[in-house]
Amino acid sequence: MNAKTLISHASLTLAAAMMMTATGAWAQSNLPENIRVPDGHKMAMTTVGVGEITYECKEKANAAGEMEWFFVGPKAQLNDTNGKQVGTYFGPPATWQALDGSRVTGTQLAVAPAGAGNLPYQLVKANPAEGKGAMNGVSYIQRVALKGGAAPASACTAANNGQRQVVPYQADYIFWASR
């Protein structure tokens, strides 16, 4: 095989991989089954969320004296694949808002482990969008490609009850719409 044939073959392979990722077929097959989007949906938008998760140390409910880090909320910038901001993610309630003002909230359907130190994979059923824009028609949201965000590794004890810690994270948020 000469260099021209190799380059052409590599270009076709890359184009096929990109097409498979864009249709969701390849990406979905590589995800835990319980967080896959049901058939009949197409990718509407993919973003990279870069931000932080806040946790608070407090006593577990119905467990006198047992302390635990509790999830308080997220705060992230949503960027397109070129790194340009297209929205924000915040909560509670979990809210994804496009720069055009449209936004969705949702109900968590499933989570799956995404590795030590990482938030879990997540599948959310979106509520109807508020406002006109990019979030109109979004039916599901997936959180994938996770880096960080898990509860702090430091001890949560009575001595630091009420203290908050902020943990950085990054995740891809894939927005799906009905076909």
Give which of 80, 81, 78 is closest to 90, Cα–Cα.
Answer: 78
Same-domain check for residues 100 and 149: yes
Supply the pLDDT for residue 128: 97
Looking at the structure, tell me whether residues 18 and 76 fall in a common domain. Answer: no
Q: Report the number of distinct structural domains present in the chain.
A: 2
- Domain co-membership, 89 together with 46: yes
**67 and 15 inside one domain:** no
Whether 70 and 7 map to the same domain: the answer is no
Instruction: Tell whether 76 and 127 lie within a shared domain.
Output: yes
Q: Is the pLDDT of residue 58 over 80?
A: yes
Do 9 and 50 lie in a common domain? no
What pLDDT score was predicted for residue 4?
Answer: 38
Which tens digits make up the pLDDT trace of 85-109?
999 999 999 999 999 999 999 999 9
Q: State whether 117 and 169 are in the same domain.
A: yes
pTM assigned to the model: 0.83
**Same structural domain for residues 128 and 75?**
yes
Shared domain check, 167 and 151: yes
Span 8-43, pLDDT tens digits: 333 332 333 333 344 344 468 899 999 999 999 999
Same domain for 72 and 48: yes
Same-domain check for residues 49 and 37: yes
What are 56's strand-pairing partners?
A: 70, 164
Tell me: pLDDT of 6 over 90: no
Domain containing residue 80? 33-178
Q: What are the C-alpha distances in Å from 159 to residues 61, 65, 151, 156?
A: 18, 11, 18, 8
Phi, psi at 25, each rounded to 5°: -65, -50
- The mean pLDDT value for 47-61 works out to 96
DSSP track, the chain: --HHHHHHHHHHHHHHHHHHHHHTHHHHHTS-GGGSPPSSEEEEEEEEEEEEEEEEEEEPTT-TT-EEEEEEEEEEEEE-TTS-EEEEEETTTTEEEETTS-EEEEEEEEEE---TTBPPEEEEEEPPPBSSSTTTTEEEEEEEEEEEBPPPSS---GGGTT-EEEEEEEEEEEEEEE-
